[in-house]
Amino acid sequence: MKTVNKSFPKVDGISLVTGKPVYTDDLAPRDALIVKVLRSPQAHALITHIDKSRAEKVPGVVCVLTHKDVIRKPFTRAGQSFPEMSPHDKFLLDHRVRHVGDDVAIVAAEDEKSAEKALKMIKVTYEPLPLVLDMEKADTMPPIHPEEEIKALAHFGHDPAHNIAGKVAFELGSVDEVLPGCPVVVTHTYKTQGQAQAMMETQRTFTYLDTYGRLVVVSSTQIPFHVRRILGNALDLPLSKIRVIKPRIGGGFGSKQTVHSEFYPALVTLITGKPAKFFFPRREVFRGTTSRHAMTFNITLGADREGNIKAIDMEGIWDTGAYGEHAATTLGSAGKKVLTLYNKVEASRFRGKAVYTNHVPGGALRGYGVTQGIFALETAINELAETLEMDPALLREKNMIHKGETTRLYNMVTKGAGDEPMYMDSCLLEECVRRGKELINWDEKRKAPKSEGQKVRGVGMAISQQGSGLPNIDMAAATLKLNDDGFFNLTLGSTDIGTGADTVLTQIAAEAMGVSMDKIVLYTADTDVVPYDSGAYASSTTYTTGNAIIDAADKMKEAIVTAAAAYFETTEDNITYEGDQLICRDPVDSMTLADFANKITYSTMHQQLCTTGSFVPKKAAPPYMAGFAEVEVDLETGVVTPIDFVGVVDCGTPINPQLARVQAEGGIAQGMGLALYEEATYTTTGKLIQDTFMQYKIPGRTDLGTIRVELLDGFDETGPYGAKSIGEVVLNTVAPAVADAIHHACGVRIRQLPATSEKVFMALQGKS
């Protein structure tokens, strides 16, 4: 292969590092109205009176909007394929607020100072309502969503009368029959916190009306086509009247899979006819968008004394906050993409519910529920190993899925899978574990913790899988156009959120067409111009969009051969396409692709060759990872210091090994933040305490220790050139591996993240 499995630099790298104006705010019109949002100081209340008259009189203010000025129609902000799997429980503005930071009013002014002044002039009277702050008790509390208009298009047990946003349940075999016969049973409760996406660029959008009166939305989003549909629904506009354009994105991590910043300027532009822009200040990102869902899982494992796991029972509660965005789907991922790791059990059961609370809404974040489920299950597996006095790696090797195996769970939880088993023919998880043990010197370090005075070191491990797109749900398309001089335009609806996806997809197109990368000119994410793509989520871009590109390329090569046969006045089977050259075998003749493209464009044929391909995943193609952590614990302070983390990843054939490795390193860093540093806590009145980077601590490079990543040489026959995904799987093993390393070092088991120094210190005191 000429371009695939090669480490090319990012195609947009120079533009980004030299500060070219490529981001949303760089491109906004200078005369755009500045939009600001008044946010609720109350966690749950009715707005009994709102007076905007003084605000409207502020010089420079163009409009002030409240719930009385906008359409009342329920919708979901979650960017998912239609029919949306999240309940329609949000209104553009409402007379009820459901969390601190909920939107109350919109101000648009000619400058920021006037907009800020007007916000302070709006007088709001609130009638406090009962607070629902404990997810364990949410279903017994008064409803947060009593309104009759809200609805669910997909049936996930939506029961707002009992504060339930969704339920997920499935079972293989009978856990209740198998567990009593297990001589070894381990039962514990595990908790993970809300986690902020903490991307560098906050959510931001500008809007204007084009010369035909259509609404143009330029936004930093992962989901341009979903934005168009969601805006059309919320604003009651036909989709033909909306165009969405995505510039470069300064990070997303799932935060921009939910529609947040787009509504406010769109409303202002539709009402005033003027360009408008809105961006989230960092504090409003914390209070007014979404975070990872906090969760509690009760896990029960049953095994025999030889370490054969017989039954796994997972029961969870998901804090979806004020709105049910991504509630049931992240919860479902915590089961279906986690339990399938252990395919030799006699019985598996998953039960979970996502409940409404008066917290900041939960949403999409890298790992999408699998992260929480993996922490719970893998920590329980490590505790089972301790009970059995067995090496945790050996316990997994006996029970985890291996290459060529399957589990009926895949068919039970994968829509449209049917009865035919899905075999994991490309699974290299066993090799991930073997190689990871070797790299971290597991057998030697696991024998006994290494102690130096008050500091002691330990090692821990975990395994994980994820998905590569959503089988039978999401779709991507790609269009190739052959231009004069022999270069191709590649137009895609996919979005590069900083991952290097544009580079990877250009490599795939170049490989498929047999040309160099400079012959592929990429254009992405303008809903008027490019073919449909579900968006950058579910680890889908390389796998799903990459396969769509190959489909388009195959069709393009057929079209070129057909046109060349007509040009040479011969049959198609007499023509060979070799990338930069076309060969006619009889009579012997040849022509460069550039000459051919010029001739069919300008001379006798006058033909434009353009092809579109598409792809929908039909089966699971999970990537796998084994993660190994070494930490140092200070016995006097409880401080945990990461020393070394080894991640061995099976992502099939990496299209761009360097970019894949960077993805893995970044995911491990985010996982370390979840494990040790990042915390989301609330006051008794429902206010998020950590709402700036002064309080919310994400790890810097010096906080991470050594990170080592190795990509195995794999191949999945369903992926583009053998590739599977890598974007999310790399985060999931970190927290359970770190938690086990802490326990190995000092005997303290942390079951509630993050493992802060205070928690470790207090546990050490209790132990002593």
66-117 pLDDT, tens digit each = 999 999 999 999 999 988 999 999 999 999 999 999 999 999 999 999 999 9
**Above 70 in pLDDT, residue 15?**
yes
In the structure encoding, which two tokens stand for residue 418, read together? 């049917």
Whole-number average pLDDT of the chain: 96
Q: What is the dihedral of CA 518, 519, 522, 528, to 10 degrees?
A: 160
* Structure confidence at residue 421 (pLDDT): 75
CA angle (260, 261, 266) in 5-degree steps: 115
**Above 90 in pLDDT, residue 631?**
yes
Stretch (H or E) spanning 491: strand 488-492
**Above 90 in pLDDT, residue 237?**
yes
Stretch (H or E) spanning 735: helix 734-746
* Structure confidence at residue 605 (pLDDT): 79
Q: Residue range 466-495: average pLDDT?
A: 95
Spatial contact of 359 and 682, defined as CB atoms under 8 Å apart? yes
How do residues 271-283 score in pLDDT, each as one tens digit?
999 999 999 999 9
Query: Which residues lie across from 480 on neighbouring strands?
Result: 490, 611
How do residues 657-716 score in pLDDT, each as one tens digit?
999 999 999 999 999 999 999 999 999 999 999 999 999 999 999 999 999 999 999 999
**Alpha carbon distance 33, 63 (integer Å):** 10
Closest CA to 23 of 219, 258, 226, 222: 219
Stretch (H or E) spanning 582: strand 581-584
Q: Residue range 288-304: average pLDDT?
A: 98
Q: What percentage of residues in the chain have a pLDDT greater than 90?
A: 93
Q: Residue range 503-516: average pLDDT?
A: 98
Q: What percentage of residues in the chain have a pLDDT greater than 70?
A: 99
Number of helices (H), then strands (E), in the chain? 21, 29
Work out whether strand 184-192 and strand 294-303 pair parallel, antiparallel, or are unpaired: antiparallel
**Above 60 in pLDDT, residue 415?**
no
Closest CA to 241 of 217, 215, 259: 215
- Name the band, by pLDDT with cuts 50, 70 and 90, for residue 412: low
* Structure confidence at residue 606 (pLDDT): 86
**Above 90 in pLDDT, residue 604?**
no
**Above 70 in pLDDT, residue 418?**
no
Q: Residue range 605-629: average pLDDT?
A: 94
- Name the band, by pLDDT with cuts 50, 70 and 90, for residue 298: very high
Among 347-356, 416-425, 449-458, the range scoring the smallest mean pLDDT is 416-425
How do residues 518-531 score in pLDDT, each as one tens digit?
999 999 999 999 99
- Name the band, by pLDDT with cuts 50, 70 and 90, for residue 768: low
**Alpha carbon distance 520, 488 (integer Å):** 5
Question: What's the full length of the chain, in residues?
Answer: 768
Angstrom distances, CA of residue 535 to CA of 81, 226, 513, 520:
9, 8, 24, 21
* Structure confidence at residue 627 (pLDDT): 98
User: With DSSP H G I counted as helix, E B as strand and the rest as coil, what are the percentages for the chain, rounded to 5?
Assistant: 30, 25, 40
* Structure confidence at residue 410 (pLDDT): 76
In the structure encoding, which two tokens stand for residue 699, read together? 């790890």
SS (H, E, C) 661-716: HHHHHHHHHHHHHHHHHCCCCECCCCCECCCCCCCCCCCCHHHCCEEEEEECCCCC
* Structure confidence at residue 413 (pLDDT): 55
Q: Residue range 336-355: average pLDDT?
A: 96
Q: Dihedral sign, CA of 396, 402, 405, 409? A: positive
Q: Residue range 279-297: average pLDDT?
A: 98
- Name the band, by pLDDT with cuts 50, 70 and 90, for residue 593: very high
In the structure encoding, which two tokens stand for residue 154, read together? 């997909």
How do residues 537-590 score in pLDDT, each as one tens digit?
999 999 999 999 999 999 999 999 999 999 999 999 999 999 999 999 988 999
Residues 6+ apart with CB under 8 A from 567: 596, 599, 600, 604, 605
Q: What is the DSSP letter of 526?
A: B
- Name the band, by pLDDT with cuts 50, 70 and 90, for residue 419: low
Which residue in this structure is represented by tokens 């200070």? 634
Write the single-letter amino acid at 304: D
Scanning 222-326, the segments in alpha helix (DSSP H) are 224-235, 263-272, 282-288
